[in-house]
């Protein structure tokens, strides 16, 4: 019994740290500046239409939830970090989108089995630490015959490589936590969803980011706005040599991926995996 209580407390503490991390900086502005089109791409791939009941898991400020609502669907945007909802509510109101916002852990969603016709997550559920628990919840809340649609950064793409660059400077992950970019590996996702889904389709694509003039500008932008990057820098703040080394590593990463030579701006292609699947009907 003590071990069970200890595990519950450890998980509660982990989720509190994750919530605090994503509240750092300004993720809603980053998403709007750099990847605003990904939510629309996911909604289109999901086939969401008027009348659908839609859940956006780890929705942030509604990058997918808002375009889903604009189709006429009934949309719930859920996230572990409700601090992100204020920006989402404001943007939804500006666009005339009706969205319900719910604080929720992707690994223990507060919704009934089969409650939604379409379950979406745009670079969101991938950051929940226990992948199988999250996958089980995605499947559980989707009705039989409904669709699950996920967009995740790939391990070999720019953001996956950014996490690899930060890993040596970050505190060790808690036991059982899995790297977020694994959700961008098609075989990993197939294994998580298993035979509970049919018609599983995967494709890779990239979003082009030309927001930055040079590598240092990319690095400073993420140091100021992106929760995971801010958290890593805070962890090494007392060691100026490690801070300088991470500064160099992130700038070098951006320089290696730059496709904008001669244009006066950096051009970065950030690869992602798009997965769509149908919830098996079963017996």
Domain 2-157+170-206+270-279: CATH superfamily is Vaccinia Virus protein VP39 (3.40.50.150)
What is the structure's pLDDT at 5? 47
Contacts of 145 (CB under 8 A, 6+ apart): 278, 279, 281
Residues lower than pLDDT 50 in the chain: 4-5, 283
Domain range annotation of the chain: 2-157+170-206+270-279
25-34: burial string, b at 16+ Cβ within 10 Å, e else: bbbbebbeeb
pTM score of the predicted model: 0.95
* Span 117-167, pLDDT tens digits: 999 999 999 999 999 999 999 999 999 999 999 999 999 999 999 999 999
Pair of tokens at residue 281:
């009907």
């Amino acid at each position: 019994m003590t071990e069970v209580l200890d595990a519950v407390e450890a998980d509660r503490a982990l989720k509190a740290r994750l919530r605090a991390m994503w509240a750092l900086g300004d993720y809603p502005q980053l998403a709007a500046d750099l990847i605003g089109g990904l939510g629309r791409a996911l909604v289109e791939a999901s086939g969401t239409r008027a009348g659908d009941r839609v859940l956006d898991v780890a929705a942030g400020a509604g990058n997918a939830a808002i375009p889903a609502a604009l189709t006429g669907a009934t949309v719930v945007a859920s996230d572990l970090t409700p601090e992100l909802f204020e920006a989402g509510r404001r943007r939804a109101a500006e666009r005339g989108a009706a969205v319900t916002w719910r604080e929720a852990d992707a690994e223990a969603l507060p919704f009934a089995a089969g409650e939604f016709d379409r379950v979406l997550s745009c670079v969101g559920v991938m950051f929940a630490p226990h992948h199988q628990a999250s996958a089980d919840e995605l499947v559980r809340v989707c009705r039989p015959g409904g669709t699950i649609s996920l967009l995740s950064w790939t391990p070999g793409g720019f953001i996956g490589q950014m996490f690899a660059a930060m890993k040596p400077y970050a505190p060790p992950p808690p036991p059982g936590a899995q790297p977020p970019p694994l959700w961008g590996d098609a075989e990993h996702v197939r294994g998580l969803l298993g035979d509970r889904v049919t018609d599983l389709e995967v494709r890779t694509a990239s979003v082009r980011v030309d927001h930055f003039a040079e590598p240092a500008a990319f690095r400073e932008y993420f140091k100021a706005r992106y929760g995971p990057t801010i958290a890593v820098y805070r962890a090494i703040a007392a060691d100026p040599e490690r801070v300088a080394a991470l500064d160099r590593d992130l700038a070098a990463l951006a320089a290696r991926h730059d496709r904008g030579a001669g244009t006066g701006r950096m051009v970065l292609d950030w690869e992602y995996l798009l997965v769509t699947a149908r919830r098996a009907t079963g017996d």
